[in-house]
């Protein structure tokens, strides 16, 4: 990352900042809760309600649901198009000291942001993993460390100046959902540090090194595969990196079975076909390069999530070697 530092727009804060909060996903919930204790929220902006579930019931975002239940006195706005001129005028007229943007879901245009001190919490160690799915991408790539950054908003996606960051050593036992929740808990301290400890000219910001940029595109159901011909560690990354969504579902005895948590074993596999269950009670599965994967937790259809040992306890012995069938082409 480039060593030179550049100051962001000049601003001065007394305790109790007047804020506009823009967010939709649950990644911003810990920060929103924290901000309500020490600052004044002029308004909360979230995405419109969307159909959800089998019945297609209109459902508010996690941020909108929290705001409606716990912050009824704070105006809650759900504009379909954030850059509509009327919306732009309404938000800018609030004269907030700062805008905090976390997992909002719409790009904020120049007319909206011109002259505004707006900061964003992003779930990666930028410039690595700009984009929609940074937490998943870090696990899929096997990054040795993970973390979050607070950045200024820029014209290009996640390309703003870095104001604060926190890194963690990667924990291979964590799924993407669990890592999401861990990094979300870093948000309050990171955002508060940027908001509360600044005086004119003292907030320093680090530009991102464009030569080190990687991109984490939005995931889809087409990504929900695992190939047991890959080494066990690669299989772990896919199972954990895509949990809870889109998830990894394999075929076992002709039925779908969702893999929830796995662990590569320091065992030498044999020459069995990848996907072959080497030991049914303990969930040892043959993978590529003669490696072995232990299945720890699964979600059978119509049942609760459970340890593999509990799932296997109710199985009858098979006349032939059992297999987990994932992606084979």
DSSP three-state, residue 198: coil
Residue 328's pLDDT is: 75
CA distances from 247 to 53, 66, 167, 182, 217 (A): 17, 26, 26, 19, 16
Q: What is the pLDDT of residue 198?
A: 63
Q: Hey, is 73 helix, strand or coil?
A: coil
* Predicted confidence (pLDDT) per residue in 83-95, tens digit: 999 999 999 999 9
Q: List CB contacts of 96: < 8 A, sequence separation 6 or more.
A: 18, 19, 20, 42, 116
Measured in degrees and rounded to the nearest 5, phi and psi for residue 308 equal -55, -40
262: which strand partners?
295
In the prediction, which pLDDT does 197 show? 67
**Neighbour-count burial for 60-95, b at 16+ CB within 10 Å, e otherwise:** bbbbbebbeeebeebebbebeebeeeebbeebbeee
pLDDT number for residue 55: 84
Domains and CATH numbers, the chain: 18-216 (3.40.50.170), 221-325 (3.10.25.10)
Crossing angle for the helix pair 232-241 and 134-141, to the nearest 10 degrees:
170
Whether 258 and 247 have beta carbons less than 8 Å apart is answered as: yes
CA angle 84, 109, 127 (to 5 degrees): 150
What is the chain's mean pLDDT, rounded? 92
Q: What tokens appear for 124 in the block? A: 């990666």
Q: Give pLDDT, residue 316.
A: 85
Beta strands in the chain (DSSP E): 18-23, 40-45, 50-52, 57-59, 76-77, 98-102, 118-122, 130-131, 145-152, 162-169, 215-216, 248-252, 255-265, 277-279, 284-287, 291-299, 306-307, 324-325
DSSP state, 124?
S
pLDDT of the chain along its 329 residues, tens only? 333 344 444 444 445 789 999 999 999 999 999 999 989 999 999 999 999 888 889 999 999 999 999 999 999 999 999 999 999 999 999 999 999 999 999 999 999 999 999 999 999 999 999 999 999 999 999 999 999 999 999 989 999 999 999 999 999 999 999 999 999 999 999 999 999 766 556 788 999 999 999 999 999 999 999 999 999 999 999 999 999 999 999 999 999 999 999 999 987 656 689 999 999 999 999 999 999 999 999 999 999 999 999 999 989 878 788 999 998 75
Number of helical H runs and strand E runs in the chain: 9, 18
How do residues 307-323 score in pLDDT, each as one tens digit? 999 999 989 878 788 99
Nearest to 147 by CA among 156, 138, 159: 138
């Amino acid at each position: 990352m480039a060593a030179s530092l550049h100051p962001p727009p000049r601003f001065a804060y007394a305790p109790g900042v007047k804020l506009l909060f823009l967010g939709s996903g649950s990644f911003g919930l810990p920060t929103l809760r924290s901000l309500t204790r020490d600052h004044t929220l002029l308004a909360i902006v979230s995405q419109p309600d969307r159909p959800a579930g089998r019945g297609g019931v209109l459902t508010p975002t996690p941020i909108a649901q929290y705001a409606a239940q716990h912050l009824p006195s704070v105006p809650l706005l759900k504009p379909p198009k954030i850059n509509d001129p009327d919306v732009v005028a309404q938000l800018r007229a609030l004269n907030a000291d700062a805008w905090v943007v976390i997992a909002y879901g719409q790009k904020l245009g120049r007319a909206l942001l011109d002259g505004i001190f707006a900061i964003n919490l992003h779930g990666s160690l930028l410039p690595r993993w700009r984009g929609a799915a940074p937490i998943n991408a870090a696990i899929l790539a096997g990054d040795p460390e993970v973390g979050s950054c607070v950045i200024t908003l820029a014209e290009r996606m996640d390309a703003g100046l870095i104001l604060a960051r926190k890194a963690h050593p990667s924990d291979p036992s964590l799924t993407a959902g669990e890592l999401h929740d861990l990094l979300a808990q870093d948000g309050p301290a990171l955002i508060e540090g940027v908001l509360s400890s600044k005086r004119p000219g003292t907030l320093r910001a680090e530009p991102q090194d464009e030569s080190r940029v990687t991109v984490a595109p939005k995931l889809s159901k087409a990504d929900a595969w695992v190939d047991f011909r890959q080494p066990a560690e690669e299989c772990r990354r896919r199972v954990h990196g895509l949990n809870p969504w889109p998830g990894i579902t394999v075929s076992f005895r002709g039925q779908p079975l969702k893999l929830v948590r796995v662990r590569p074993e320091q065992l030498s596999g044999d020459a069995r076909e990848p996907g072959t269950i080497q030991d049914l009670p303990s969930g040892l599965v043959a993978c590529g390069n003669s490696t072995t994967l232990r299945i720890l937790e699964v979600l059978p259809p119509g049942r609760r999530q459970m340890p593999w040992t509990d799932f296997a306890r109710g199985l009858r012995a098979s006349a032939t070697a059992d297999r987990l069938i994932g992606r084979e082409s």
